[in-house]
Structure 1
Amino acid sequence: MGIAFAVWPDGASAQDPEIQISRSACGQGWTDPKAGPQIFNLHNTGAVTSEVDLIDPKSGVIYGEVEGLGTGTTRPMSVTLGNGSYAFRCLPEDSSAIVGPTTTVSGGAERGPGVAAVTQNDLLQPLKVYEAKVTQGLDTLATDVGALKDAVHRGDRGASESTWLTAHLTYERLGAAYDAFGDSDGAINGTTAGLPGGTSDPDFTGFHRLEYGLWHNEDMGSLGGVVDQLASDVQDLRAAFPRSQVDSNDLGLRAHEIVENALQFELTAKTDYGSGTNLATTRANLDGVQTVLDVLRPVLAPRYPQLSGVDSWMQRTETTLDGACKPDGSWTPVSALTAPQRQKINADVSELTERLAPIAAIAEPRRVS
């Protein structure tokens, strides 16, 4: 599906057809239908901002879209059209959808696949399933952090480091729900970014503060307060989550962003405070992405023919990362990777990031009426 952005693409010109967008003149102005690549200049002559889709009027499948077309403005929609019927669908703010006149294109190639719109109703069941999985994950997290708390208070550094990793990875598997966690995410898994005091800043709390203390040989007694606060914050999140709601747009969006963030922060070790477990975190992030893909699969399968390719790259990237886990269960730090190992991991995660990118657009909930 061609998605138009708020820039003028190469080749746009005054000769490209100007399509009127308003309640009274949706889709007017397409007088010379033709197949192949082309640009429509969408001009909002109405009084309110509008979304615009180019659809098959019979099936509703989308072949192009522009969001947030302001009144009085003109923006391009760049598309490649095959043989078939098309119409512009205008979705003005606070108004029902209007479908313009049908135009038939012929004399070109067979039409490529479009995307059937995903509605809020389509996402109700996936969201319900995902929220149930997050609830289970938070239960597991509370248990894991309880074991971590016991180990720290016993003064057992080795057991504390081991249970820290178990608990931290449990949290890292919940990535698509972080926005619903609100301020709790910063308290539980925040870094020193933006903190003037760095690792000594009183607002540096949670997993990474405890990681810093454990792996920098801070006195175990002094870490009791840190782990107590972490346990309290986890319990607060666990109690609050049933009253929260994961945004329907976050499922598809986060499937891509989780891996993108891992590439930016974990594979560069920017979030390493001493444990050297960034590759384990990245692997847990992939588990989180897999959970999202599983709950979205009924929505994605009929809309994304390349989904099997995503599955293949997920398996390939998981296997690559698993190679960094040693027989004793410890993980190779990013800094200890050989050049070929680093290149392989970065290449696989980068490719997976690219293959996940379309899912954000496909699973975005859209108005159709």
Structure 2
Amino acid sequence: MRLAPRTNRRILLPVAVVAALAAAASGAAALLPDSSAAKSAAAAADGLPHTAVEVSPGACGHGWDRPSAGRQVFDLRNTSSDPAEVYLTDTSTGALLGEVEGLAPGVQRPLQVVLGRGSYAFRCLPEDADAVTGPTVRITAGPATGGPAVLPVTEHDLIPPTLEYQKWIGQGLGALVGKVDALRDAVDSGDLPAARTAWLTAHLGYSRLGAAYDAFGDLGDAVDGLADGQPDGVKDQGFTGFHRIEYGLWHHQSADQLRAPAQQLAEDVRKLRDQWADARMEPADLGLRAHEITEDTVTFELTGHNDYGSGSSLATARAQLDGTAEVLDRLRPLLEPRDPELPGIDQWLARSRSDLDALGHDGSWPAPDKLTDNQRERINADFGGLVERLAGVAAVCDVRRTS
């Protein structure tokens, strides 16, 4: 599997973690005249109380002068000349109750939250400028607690699990060298049935290393690239690696035709192992990768897009679930106090594994297009639910500015 290209983006914390942040993300930006901002506390179409709040270095949080508990909307208007991010924070814990990112100058966007008794402040983070914290606002009446909040994660928090994960990847690459050597040796000997078995073992071993793909660089493309985009498709000299050998093994190519690709794969995997000691994964990406592995499994494996004849897409999907679980295990100390959805993620992961295992017999799985309607619906529902929940992991682990 190759991760689909990503733009540099943030995922806002979802409803299950912080309801207010999802509401902020869904609000449409609008240019409003000054008079509209002044009247925003009036009854709105949504039936909730609205408060106009200013976003600027000199007046961050100004306008919130009648604090009250309950569900409400802050209409955040950037009155400065630069884009800004805005956080609503619990000043006693530092937890975030809501955020709006990319608030352009002159633009107003809503932030819906549920507040209980406590102390709160807006934090304005202009682009290319220091953060500014607005006045502390205290709510002394109403429910004791409000909506969910989450402690922000720093890059320092993510360094230990990333280093631990890198070490695990190194061990996996060491084991992968032996599996690919076995594939090469089977091809060299002309035993193509043994080569097919060895191919699947080796490719599943590689597929479990999902969160590291972005750090593999060009060698990752050489090892597990697709024929997509190659001028001559599967016949192109630039089509190498696991899928090149897969195509040959399941399209009646001879051992002579496969010896060079198998030898090249063995050399490339050995280079990957040797270079990994100097590789550096970006700590801020680890949470996002947990989501991306499963998202790309849906796109490329459950559709059969990456199948070059072996029919092993569901086996690969199963291996990638193991890869997702490895990332979650490294992040678990950070997630347990922050993400109330973590037990649900574990349940959906177990369900997805179990339903895939039920389709496998003697180490083989049917191709996706051979599933019955009920089987396909079940697997699609499993992965759809898991992808949705893993978006929360990416959001919780998203590093947010502190200064």
Same fold (TM over 0.5): yes
Q: Does 1:22 align with 2:42?
A: no
CA contact (8 A) 2:115 2:147 kept: yes
Residue number among 49, 59, 66 corresponding to 2:93 in the alignment: 59
Residue number among 222, 230, 253 corresponding to 1:218 in the alignment: 253
Q: Does 1:80 align with 2:116?
A: no
Aligned residue number for residue 170 of structure 2: 135
Q: How far apart are residue 109 of structure 1 and its match?
A: 7.4
Q: State how 1:110-149 maps to structure 2 within 5 Å.
A: 110-149=145-184
CA contact (8 A) 1:82 1:112 kept: yes
Bigger drift between 127-136 and 83-92 goes to 83-92
Return the alpha-carbon distance in structure 2 between the equivalents of residues 331 and 367 of structure 1: 45
Return the alpha-carbon distance in structure 2 between the equivalents of residues 207 and 74 of structure 1: 50
Q: Does 1:8 align with 2:41?
A: no
Aligned residue number for residue 135 of structure 2: 101
Bigger drift between 333-342 and 270-279 goes to 333-342
Aligned-partner residue type, residue 165 of structure 1? L
Aligned-partner residue type, residue 58 of structure 1? S
Unaligned runs of 5+ in 1: none
| Percent identity (aligned) | 48
Secondary structure, in 3 states, of the residue corresponding to 1:78? strand
Return the alpha-carbon distance in structure 2 between the equivalents of residues 108 and 8 of structure 1: 30
Secondary structure, in 3 states, of the residue corresponding to 2:359? coil
Aligned residue number for residue 163 of structure 1: 198
CA contact (8 A) 2:70 2:116 kept: no
Return the alpha-carbon distance in structure 2 between the equivalents of residues 77 and 86 of structure 1: 17
Aligned residue number for residue 251 of structure 1: 286
Q: 1:50 to 1:154 in 2, by over 3 A?
A: same
Q: 1:47 to 1:244 in 2, by over 3 A?
A: farther
CA contact (8 A) 2:306 2:313 kept: yes
Aligned-partner residue type, residue 78 of structure 1? L
Return the alpha-carbon distance in structure 1 between the equivalents of residues 243 and 388 of structure 2: 29
Return the alpha-carbon distance in structure 1 between the equivalents of residues 288 and 266 of structure 2: 29
Return the alpha-carbon distance in structure 1 between the equivalents of residues 363 and 322 of structure 2: 17
C-alpha distance after superposition, 1:315-359 (max 9, x if no partner):
111111111211x22222222222221121111111111121111
Return the alpha-carbon distance in structure 1 between the equivalents of residues 348 and 262 of structure 2: 37
CA contact (8 A) 2:186 2:194 kept: yes
Aligned-partner residue type, residue 120 of structure 2? Y
Return the alpha-carbon distance in structure 2 between the equivalents of residues 266 and 348 of structure 1: 14
Q: How far apart are residue 22 of structure 1 and its match?
A: 2.7
Q: 1:68 to 1:221 in 2, by over 3 A?
A: same
Bigger drift between 278-287 and 27-36 goes to 27-36
Aligned residue number for residue 380 of structure 2: 346
Aligned residue number for residue 268 of structure 2: 233
CA contact (8 A) 1:83 1:104 kept: no
Bigger drift between 348-357 and 38-47 goes to 38-47
Q: 1:75 to 1:224 in 2, by over 3 A?
A: farther
Unaligned runs of 5+ in 2: 1-17, 41-49
Return the alpha-carbon distance in structure 2 between the equivalents of residues 214 and 36 of structure 1: 64
RMSD of aligned residue pairs (Cα, Å): 2.1
Q: State how 1:300-311 maps to structure 2 within 5 Å.
A: 300-311=335-346
CA contact (8 A) 1:155 1:220 kept: yes
Return the alpha-carbon distance in structure 1 between the equivalents of residues 314 and 29 of structure 2: 39
Return the alpha-carbon distance in structure 1 between the equivalents of residues 300 and 72 of structure 2: 39
Q: How far apart are residue 115 of structure 1 and its match?
A: 0.6
Q: How far apart are residue 152 of structure 1 and its match?
A: 1.0
Normalising by structure 2, we get a TM-score of 0.85
Aligned-partner residue type, residue 150 of structure 2? V
What is the aligned length? 366
Bigger drift between 182-191 and 107-116 goes to 107-116
CA contact (8 A) 1:41 1:77 kept: yes
Q: Does 1:317 align with 2:340?
A: no
Aligned-partner residue type, residue 379 of structure 2? I
Q: How far apart are residue 40 of structure 1 and its match?
A: 2.7
Return the alpha-carbon distance in structure 2 between the equivalents of residues 50 and 198 of structure 1: 46
Aligned residue number for residue 304 of structure 2: 269
Aligned residue number for residue 335 of structure 1: 369
Secondary structure, in 3 states, of the residue corresponding to 1:5? helix
Q: How far apart are residue 80 of structure 1 and its match?
A: 2.0
Secondary structure, in 3 states, of the residue corresponding to 2:340? coil
CA contact (8 A) 1:41 1:74 kept: no
Q: How far apart are residue 92 of structure 1 and its match?
A: 3.3
Q: How far apart are residue 235 of structure 1 and its match?
A: 1.9
Residue number among 352, 358, 367 corresponding to 2:392 in the alignment: 358
C-alpha distance after superposition, 1:201-240 (max 9, x if no partner):
2221111111000000111111111112212221222222
Residue number among 118, 123, 132 corresponding to 1:89 in the alignment: 123
CA contact (8 A) 2:55 2:76 kept: yes
Q: How far apart are residue 7 of structure 1 and its match?
A: 4.9
